[in-house]
Amino acid sequence: MMKRKLLALSISALLLPAAGSVLAQAGKISGDVVKIAVLTDMSGVYSDLGGKGSVLAAEMAIEDFKASAKPKFKIELVSADHQNKADVGSNKVREWYDTQGVDMVTDVLNSAVALAVAKVTTEKNKIMLNAGAASTRLTNEDCAPNNVVHYVYDTYALANGPGKAVTKQGKDTWFFLTADYAFGASLEKDTTDAVKASGGKVLGSVKHPLNASDFSSFLLQAQASKAKVVGLANAGGDTINSIKAANEFGLTKNQTIVGLLTTIIDIHALGLPTTQGMMFTEGYYWNLNNETRDWSRKFFSKHKKMPSMLHAGTYSAVTTYLKAVQATGSDDTATVMKQMRATPINDIFAKGGKIREDGRMVHDMYLVEVKKPAESKEPWDYYHIKQVIPGDQAFQPMALSRCPAVAKK
């Protein structure tokens, strides 16, 4: 009997150090390396909105974090062009997770790509901080709040400001030009809801392919509708080309063009004479305060363009992730996600930002109006801030959530 007790004690003594080692490793950073990936459109219709600017923003976030936090772990960054193809994007992310040790992927510009990448990210139990895709499906029907954060904007927030403000000005009949995939459909639906809630009507819509080469037939339908407002449920190069064509066809003489996902990059490409008076929702403006001006001018010195809200959001997303890793001493997905949800986000992009239980990062948005040429004081000084939209008003309220993970609670 005594021999059995001694044997049991000996085995326990041998096992205890091993168990302690496993527990210690659970809180550590795997390989002492945190690996971040930027998946974006490098060469297509959205490349100016994200693209190389998003990679630069991630690089700047890593540089600034290293300078301030002086982490003991290494940080590596990789990037790739998803070519606006869901299969290309999801295959690249799967490769990153399986063979390259990537912990977090960000930007993910294009809703179809983001929805596919979210599934792979959940399957592999990694983290996606989506900065570029807009479809509200990411926090509703296809939510994955244990792995996916919708960080910068979504179609609800983009639609809400101009849909209500423009309609209340008496421009109460709308016609949509809509990009024919998940993003466009979501943006048209959310704007339609905002217009109707404000007493307006939608007279019709027409879908166009991504990166359309000719908008003439679509604009003729918009013109024939005699709607007071033509809403552009598209983005990037499609928005720029739609507005150019609308001016060439003379639509702007009798109809108001509203770009529902318009950024400062688009305004710069088109010029103030073409865009003056346009109203839309933005998530970031470089000329908002001293902090945004300092960071944006640093970005401009390297990129030769002011940052879009996506670029500023990517910087913020990478910073938020790295702060959570530093605070917990771990790159474990559940640990890092819990820390990010518990910590307010205060940086150049958001003040008092918070990640909700459905994965939505809630922060203030801005209803802007494009200045007249005479009102602009310097290059890239393009906006009047007409309204600060508090985060809890800008984004879909939790009461309307269709996220199954939230509904189950």
How does residue 408 score in pLDDT terms, banded at 50, 70 and 90? low
pLDDT interval class at 26 (50, 70, 90): very low
Structural domain spans, the chain = 33-153+288-364, 156-285+366-385
Q: Write down the pLDDT at residue 407.
A: 67
- Which residue do the tokens 């993910």 mark? 108
Is-same-fold flag (33-153+288-364; 156-285+366-385)?
A: yes
- State the DSSP string of 263-309: -HHHHHHH-HHHHTT-EEEES--TTSSHHHHHHHHHHHHHHSSPPPH
Residues in contact with 167: Cβ distance below 8 Å, sequence separation at least 6, in sequence order = 174, 194, 195, 198, 199, 200, 229
Contacts 24+ apart (CB under 8 A), 182-185: 182/111, 182/112, 182/115, 182/135, 182/137, 183/110, 183/111, 183/112, 183/133, 183/134, 183/135, 183/155, 183/235, 184/233, 184/234
Instruction: Please tell me the CATH superfamily of domain 156-285+366-385, with its number.
Output: Response regulator (3.40.50.2300)
- CATH number (3.10.129.10, 3.30.300.30, 3.40.190.170, 3.40.50.2300) of 33-153+288-364 reads 3.40.50.2300
**Phi and psi at residue 11, to the nearest 5°:** -65, -40
Per the structure block, which two tokens stand in for 28? Answer: 């550590």
- Give 348-406 pLDDT, tens digit per residue: 999 999 999 999 999 999 999 999 999 999 999 999 999 999 999 999 999 999 999 98
> Are 255 and 229 in contact, with CB atoms under 8 Å apart?
yes
Is 19's pLDDT higher than 60? no
